[in-house]
Structure 1
Amino acid sequence: MAVARTRCVALIGVSGHPVDVEADVGAGVSGLHLIGMLDTALSEARDRVRSAVVNSRHPWPDTRITVSLFPASLPKRGSLFDLAIAIALLAAAGVVPAAKVAEPFFLGELGLDGSVRPVRGVLPAVLAAVAAGARTVVVPARNVAEASLVPDVTVVPVAALSDLVKLLRGDGPPTPGGVAGEAEDTGGDRGHRGGAGDMGDAGDMGDTAGGPGGIAPDLADVAGQPFARRALEICAAGGHNFWMLGPPGTGKTMLAERLPTLLPPLERDQALEVTAIHSVAGVLPPDRPLLTRPPFVAPHHTATVAAIVGGGSGAVRPGAVSIAHRGVLFLDEAPEYPASVLDSLRQPLESGRVTVSRAQGTVTFPARFMLVLAANRCPCARPSRPDDPCRCSPAARRRYLARLSGPLLDRIDVKVTLYPSTRRELLADRRFTEPSRVVAERVLLARERAARRLAGTPWRCNAEIPARALHTVYRPAPPAMAPLLTCLDSGALSARGLDRVLRLAWTLADLSGKAGPEVAETNAALGLWLGEER
C-alpha cells in the first residue's frame, strides 16, 4: 500500500487548470475520503468510483482511502475527475503500475457498471493538459474526435474502466467495443494522434440546414428588400451590429438567418476557440467535433440574464453571447425581451468579453459577436392598411420602442426600416437577388483588404478597431470627416456613434475597393447609423 498520483484538469469558464490527483491507501477506518475544494457532483464521485471498480471485477481496498486534488484552493466541479480518481486509487492499491499513471492525464465520468461516459469541455481540458506538458491524454471513446483536434498529444480513447486497466497492466487487447481505436499503453506508441487536419471535413455550424428538407438558407430567398440585403452585406463585411424595424412578414427573420452564410469560415484558432466554448456549454454537436462556420444563436424572448450572459447556481456556464462568439446573436422581437437582458448586452458589445461574478469567484468568457435586432413598429404588430389602420396610439408605439434603450441603440452600427413589398415589387426584385455565395465572395474580398490594412495588429475586422486607432492611424481625410463633425457639433451624433460611423465608413471603402473612406462613404455610413435610407 502506498501513495499514487495521476493528473486531471479543472475547468473554470473555458480555461483549464492542471490538477494532481493523489490517492493514499493506508491503515484506518474503511472509507473513501475526497479533499480539495469539491462541489456536490464531485463529492458524489466516491459512490460512482466504488461501484465502477467493483463492477469492473477489481478488488476494492477495505481500508482508509484518501484522495487529494491539488491545488486545494482551486475550485473543482463536475464528474470530469471520476476516471483520474479511480486510476489513482487502483495504482495506490497495486492493481495498476503507479509509474505508468503518473504522466498521462485522465478525463471522464464513470458509470456504475464501469463504463467511461463522455463529458463536457474535453477540448479546453486537452489544450490545458498539453500546455502543462502532457504527451498522453486518456478520454472517453465518444470524446475522441474532439480531443484529437489538439496537436502534439497522443489521445487514448476508452469505453470501460476494465479495458483501461488491461492497457495499463499490459494484459492483452481489450474486449471488443471496449476501447475505440488502437492503443497499447498510455506511453503512447499507438492511439489517436492529435491534430486539426483538414478543418473543412470536421463539420460545420454556420451553414445550417435550417430550411425545410435540410435546405440551407440563401440570400436569394429574400425578395423585395434590396436596401436591407445591401445593409446585410455591409454588416458581414465589417462585423457590424444590425437593427431592423418593420411590420411582420417583411423578411426580418429571413435576413438574420442568412447573415452567417455571408461570413467567411473561421480561422483555425477561432474555430478551436468557438469549439471549446460550445464543448463547455454542452451544445457541441456529436457529429461535428470542430466548428468551422460562424455560429448562429437565437434565444427565446423569455431568456433570463444568466441564459444570455452566462451564469448558473453551481458551475458558471457560458451564455448565449459566448455561444455566439465569432458569429451572430439574433434577438427577434427585441422589445419583448426584459430590459435587464437588453442592458446586459452593452458591456460585451464594447469589450468583446463578458465577466460573470459569483460568490465562488469570477469567470470571464469571450463574447465577440454580431448583434442583430428585429422589432415591429408597435405592440399589436398588425400590418396597417388604409381600410384597416393600426389602432395603437402614438404614445403606445413610443413606449414599445423605448424598451430598446438609447445606450443600446447607440451601439448598433446599421439601422434599417423595412416596408411591405407589393406583388409587382416582389416579382421585379427577383431578377436582382444574388445567392449567398456571390455576396460572400465580395464580403471575403472586403475582409481581406481590411486584414492587409490591419496586419500586425490584434484586430481582424473593422468593427474591432479601437477608438484611439480610429482617430490616429485610421482617421479619414478632413473633407470626409466634415459631415461627421457637423453632426457631432449639433448633437445628432455621440462620441461613441462617431467611432461606429468611422468603422462603418472603412467597411464601405473596403467594399468599394478604395484605399480609404471619402465623403461618399462617410455620408453613407452616417445615414446607415442614423437609420436614414440612401
Structure 2
Amino acid sequence: MPLARAWSVALFGVDGVAVEIEADIGGGRPRTQIVGLPDASLNEAKERVRAAIRNSSEEWPGELVTLALSPAALPKGGSGYDLALACAVLVAADRVPTDRLSGTVMIGELALDGRVRPVRGVLPGLLAARKAGLRRAIVPEPALPEAALVTGLEILGARTLLDTLTWLRGDDAALRTPDPERVHPPPEIPDLRDVIGQPEARWALEVAAAGGHHILLTGPPGTGKTMLAERLPGLLPPLTDEQALEVTAIRSIAGTLAPDSPLITVAPFVAPHHSTSVSGLIGGGAGMAKPGAISQAHHGILFMDEACEFGPHRLESLRTALEQGEIRLARRDGVSRYPANFQLVLATNTCPCAPPRDSDCTCSPHARRRYFGRLSGPLLDRVDLRVRMRPMTAMSAELDTPESTAQVRTRVDKARRRAVERWQQHGWLTNAQAPGPALRREFALPRKTTALLDRGLDIGAVTARGADRCLRVAWTLSDLAEADRPGPDHVAAALEFRDRRAV
C-alpha cells in the first residue's frame, strides 16, 4: 500500500508545532478524506489540491486517498498545508521521488492553476520547524525575505507546484534561494524638536522612555498630546535581535509585514481608533484567536488617543496584559498565547466639551466626573506618570530652541544602560520590569529616603501597587541624574507624577 510523509506547521498564537502529513492511497472507493481535526478551510484543501495537481500536468490518483495530519488530537486550520498535501499525494502515487521530501517543511496555499500563494505566519512556522529538527523549508516565493530571517534552515522559494515537483525530481534550479540581505533605512520618526513648550510633559516623556513607564497625558485639545506620543519611539533604543524576531513573528501572523523589508528593528507604534472593539484591542476571532493591537505593540508603544472615548470595557481589558506582559485567549480550537509587553500612552481631553481653557468649560461637574470615570482607579493605578498639559498661549511660547530627539535620546540611552547593568543578573531590561518584592528587599532604600512614600501609604494616598511603581520611577529619575541610588527628592518627584490632580 503506497504511503508517503511530508511536513508542515500548525500555529497556536506565536507557538508552532511541526505537523507530519501522511498520504495513503488505496483500500476503498475513489474519494479523498483528511483526518486529524481539520477545520473548514483545511477540509476544502482537497478540492484545491486536486485542481492544482491536475493543472500542473499531473494525474490525481483514482483510488481512496487518505491524508492524516499528526498530532491527530491537535486542531488544525488554514490553507498553509496545501503544498505539503499535494507533494505527499504525488509521492504516495509514485510519481515523484521521496528522497528530498524527508526533513523538508512546506508552507503555502495552492491556487487552482498550481500557483503557490503566500500565507500568514511563515516566520513563526519556520522557527517551530527548526526547533523540531527539520533542516529545509519550501515557502511561497514572495515570502522568501521573511523566511530568510530564520537561520539554521535551507530556505527555498516556490512559484508554482510544478516548480516544487521539478525540484523533488532533482533539478536544483527549479526553486529560488533568498537574495542577499539588503540593509533598509529605519522608518523616519518625527523629531521632538517640533513640540513647542510643554516642559513638564517633555520631561515626563523622557522619564517614560528611560524607564519603560506607562504615561497619561491630559489637557485641552491642540496642546501637543498626540505629537509627544508619536515621538516616543524615537527616544527608545533599537530592538535587539531577539526582540525584532518576536515583533516580526507577531506581525507575520497578523499579516501586516512589508514584503521587501520584513524585519522590524524599531519599536512599533500602534494607535487604535477609539471605536475599536475589545477583540481588536486584545485579540480574538472564531476558531483560533488572532493577535490584537496590544500584541502588535509588543516591545513598543500602544497609544490610545481620546482614551475616555474608548469606554470602560475596552480600557479594563488591558489590565491583565499590563501586569503579565502577555495575553491568553481561549477559543473553540484552543488557547492562543500572544506576548504583549508594551508601553501604554494614554491621552485625553479634560472634559467632553474640550475647551481651549478650563475656564471656558460648559460641562457640569457630574458630566466631568462621569467622563473621567471611564479611566477607573485600578487602571490609573497601573499608570506611572500622569501629566497635565499647559494651554498654549502663543506659538512662540518657548524662546530657546527645543531639544531634539537625538539630544534627549542620549540621556535616555545612558539611563537605560545603568538600569541594564543593575538588573542584568535578574534578566530585567528596564526599571519598569523590576518586581516590587525585589525593590523592597534586595534593593531596599533607607527609611529616611522613603519616608514620604510611607506616609502616603499610611493615609491611603497611594496603594501598595502604586508604591511599587513610585519606587520604579524613583530609580529611573536617579539613573537620569546619574546617581547611584534614589534619594528623597527622587521619591518625592515620583509621588508627584502620581498626583491624581493631574487628571
Which deviates more from structure 2 when the two are superposed, residues 163-172 or residues 445-454? 163-172
Amino acid at match of 1:10: A
Q: Residue 498 of structure 1 corresponds to which residue in structure 2?
A: 467
Contact 2:105 2:138 in 1 (8 A): yes
Structure 2 residues without counterparts, runs of 5 or longer: none
Identical positions, percent = 48
User: Is the alpha carbon distance of 1:226 and 1:166 closer, same or farther for their aligned partners in structure 2, counting shifts above 3 Å?
Assistant: same
Which among 406, 415, 418 is matched to residue 377 of structure 2? 406
User: Is the alpha carbon distance of 1:436 and 1:262 closer, same or farther for their aligned partners in structure 2, counting shifts above 3 Å?
Assistant: same
Q: What is the CA–CA distance in structure 2 between the aligned matches of 1:117 and 1:361, rounded to whole Å?
A: 26
Q: What is the CA–CA distance in structure 1 between the aligned matches of 2:358 and 2:307, rounded to whole Å?
A: 24
Which deviates more from structure 2 when the two are superposed, residues 466-475 or residues 64-73? 466-475
Q: What is the CA–CA distance in structure 2 between the aligned matches of 1:454 and 1:432, rounded to whole Å?
A: 36
Query: After the TM superposition, which residues 15-30 of structure 1 pair with which residues of structure 2 at under 5 Å, given as runs?
Result: 15-30=15-30
Q: Residue 280 of structure 1 corresponds to which residue in structure 2?
A: 253
Q: What is the CA–CA distance in structure 1 between the aligned matches of 2:30 and 2:377, rounded to whole Å?
A: 64
Q: Residue 316 of structure 1 corresponds to which residue in structure 2?
A: 289
**Secondary structure in 1 aligned to 2:485?**
coil
Q: What is the CA–CA distance in structure 2 between the aligned matches of 1:247 and 1:428, rounded to whole Å?
A: 16
Greater RCO, CA 8 A, separation 6+:
2
Structure 1 residues without counterparts, runs of 5 or longer: 182-190, 210-215
Does residue 1:224 correspond to 2:197, yes or no?
yes
Shift of 1:229: 0.7
Q: What is the CA–CA distance in structure 2 between the aligned matches of 1:31 and 1:202, rounded to whole Å?
A: 50
Q: Residue 423 of structure 2 corresponds to which residue in structure 1?
A: 454
**Secondary structure in 1 aligned to 2:20?**
strand
Amino acid at match of 1:509: S
**Secondary structure in 1 aligned to 2:424?**
coil
Q: What is the CA–CA distance in structure 1 between the aligned matches of 2:172 and 2:229, rounded to whole Å?
A: 56
- In angstroms, what is the RMSD of aligned CA positions? 1.7
Q: Residue 44 of structure 2 corresponds to which residue in structure 1?
A: 44
Q: What is the CA–CA distance in structure 1 between the aligned matches of 2:285 and 2:469, rounded to whole Å?
A: 33
Which among 270, 295, 309 is matched to residue 268 of structure 2? 295
Q: What is the CA–CA distance in structure 2 between the aligned matches of 1:503 and 1:384, rounded to whole Å?
A: 33
**Secondary structure in 2 aligned to 1:374?**
strand
Contact 1:223 1:430 in 2 (8 A): no
Q: What is the CA–CA distance in structure 1 between the aligned matches of 2:5 and 2:247, rounded to whole Å?
A: 33
User: Is the alpha carbon distance of 1:287 and 1:532 closer, same or farther for their aligned partners in structure 2, counting shifts above 3 Å?
Assistant: farther
Shift of 1:367: 0.5
Runs of 4+ in 1 over 6 A off after TM superposition: none
Q: Deviations over 1:113-152 (max 9, x none)?
A: 1011111111111101111111111111111111111111
Contact 1:417 1:531 in 2 (8 A): no
Q: What is the CA–CA distance in structure 1 between the aligned matches of 2:372 and 2:122, rounded to whole Å?
A: 43
What TM-score comes out, normalization by structure 1 length?
A: 0.91
Query: After the TM superposition, which residues 103-118 of structure 1 pair with which residues of structure 2 at under 5 Å, given as runs?
Result: 103-118=103-118
**Secondary structure in 2 aligned to 1:7?**
strand
Which among 339, 345, 367 is matched to residue 340 of structure 2? 367
Shift of 1:285: 1.8
Q: Residue 469 of structure 1 corresponds to which residue in structure 2?
A: 438
Which deviates more from structure 2 when the two are superposed, residues 401-410 or residues 439-448? 439-448
Q: Deviations over 1:397-421 (max 9, x none)?
A: 1110111100000000000001212
Q: What is the CA–CA distance in structure 2 between the aligned matches of 1:173 and 1:334, rounded to whole Å?
A: 55
Q: What is the CA–CA distance in structure 2 between the aligned matches of 1:342 and 1:385, rounded to whole Å?
A: 25
Contact 1:481 1:522 in 2 (8 A): yes
Q: How many residues align?
A: 502
Amino acid at match of 1:68: A
Which deviates more from structure 2 when the two are superposed, residues 121-130 or residues 20-29? 20-29
User: Is the alpha carbon distance of 1:526 and 1:154 closer, same or farther for their aligned partners in structure 2, counting shifts above 3 Å?
Assistant: same
Query: After the TM superposition, which residues 349-498 of structure 1 pair with which residues of structure 2 at under 5 Å, given as runs?
Result: 349-384=322-357, 389-423=360-394, 426-429=395-398, 431-498=400-467
Contact 2:288 2:332 in 1 (8 A): no
Contact 2:145 2:259 in 1 (8 A): no
Q: What is the CA–CA distance in structure 2 between the aligned matches of 1:255 and 1:378, rounded to whole Å?
A: 20
Shift of 1:450: 0.4
Contact 2:293 2:302 in 1 (8 A): yes
Amino acid at match of 2:385: V
Q: Deviations over 1:198-241 (max 9, x none)?
A: 8xx2564xx4x4xxxxxx31111100111101110100000000
Q: What is the CA–CA distance in structure 2 between the aligned matches of 1:77 and 1:203, rounded to whole Å?
A: 36
